[in-house]
A and B are shown apart, each in its own frame.
Chain A
């Protein structure tokens, strides 16, 4: 929901800056980058639209994975992916368990 004008901060100041000291930038902080499981992918292209670095690889109109030369691990693609649940097409590999 977009805020009403009454709810905005004075002078448009952003008090909630994405600062790694103050905020938990979970993907960036761990230095991890998303993995891709093509079996769960619905090919909706949302990750491709939202990736700020154009790091989602597309071949013949099909999402193929992530170009790790350009992926910065921001996790936006994971947030935007509509497939939710235990198993997701875009996920962060946990060191202890498999997925």
Chain B
């Protein structure tokens, strides 16, 4: 067991996996992931190539080059850096390159802010990447270990981004169970160089031009990768659990089985939500939590099953998507539940933008709010903002 923060947990996992190339551009606050890796390499603790580049855009471009050459690539970024990568993210996913990237989720400017917010990852939700979110340092470590195994699966071959919350994860030191190097080595795949462009015996073209004759077919073929990952994510989570006794799925439920009212959210706020639920349960209230771990591919069928018996749900998005009805998590949850005959009522909430605190009383207030709305004929389905001065 080690006492480390979220970024160090990611660096620790990378040290054990030892990608061929780690590509580095200093972005706040993900920089400490890369700093730690740089010192591991300098101290001789890992022998990856460390590549400094001139922007986040170049970092992802270099990842694409490494992965297309059959190597394992890792980089980390956040916020503006991830936004700058936007174009190259689509190329990485459509060329089916198994890159893994750590994201220290941080608000997008303006105004400039370094704190926790999911607007950077959420802006990339259609980029074709698998998106996994972590609640704490332990999950950050575990998710990175699993990310390589998911991305490199032959059926999947799709890049994975693993998010942790800025400030709440990267400034907070926690106990983390770190597995031994041998355990990790045994768990990981053997790299597959079948698709390497450096294989001069079998020349191939990567990233070629495509006319309308084939473009549609290529895109549907790409989608098969992320769709296959649905099964692989589950399998890898189960295998990880069997080996290390920490099981993972698409989401974690907390006291949801007999709950009538629930909150759905992602990442670090789940901790405080669990505390609030414990307190409310003591008072006899039937409340629960669903913490989504995998946002892409969106587990709509599984959500439908888990949420169908609830009376009403508050979906908490840590992102503002201006002009939409609720955040992305709300919209997707609504769409998932629409197929049910008897649906729970779903309410959109926005919280925690730019690192705004969410505390026990805010979660409790949210539960009270949806309970009141549920019992009220004329309930209000407008977006509500948690802990906003208004």
Contacts and interface: CB of A to CB of B under 8 A. Distances in A.
Is chain B found bound to chain A in the same assembly? yes
B201 to A, nearest CB: 9
Contacts of A22: 202-203
Contact of B94 (A3, A11, A21): A11
B322 to A, nearest CB: 34
Contacts of A6: 221
Contacts of A17: 203-205
B222 A3 contact: no
A55 to B, nearest CB: 23
A14 B204 contact: yes
Contacts of B218: 5, 8, 12
Interface size class of A (residues with CB under 8 A): 10 to 19
Contacts of B195: 10-11, 13
Given A13-B205, A17-B204, A5 B96 contact: no
Interface of A: 2-6, 8, 10-15, 17, 19, 21-22
Nearest to B217: A5
A3 B208 CA distance: 17
Interface string B290-311: 0000000000000000000000
Contacts of A3: 214, 217
B210 interface: yes
A24 B305 CA distance: 57
Given A2-B213, A11-B96, A22-B203, 12 more contacts: A5-B217, A8-B217, A8-B221, A10-B195, A11-B95, A12-B95, A12-B218, A12-B221, A13-B195, A15-B202, A17-B204, A21-B203
A10 B202 contact: no
B355 interface: no
Interface string B204-247: 11111010011011101110010000000000000000000000
A71 B208 CA distance: 25
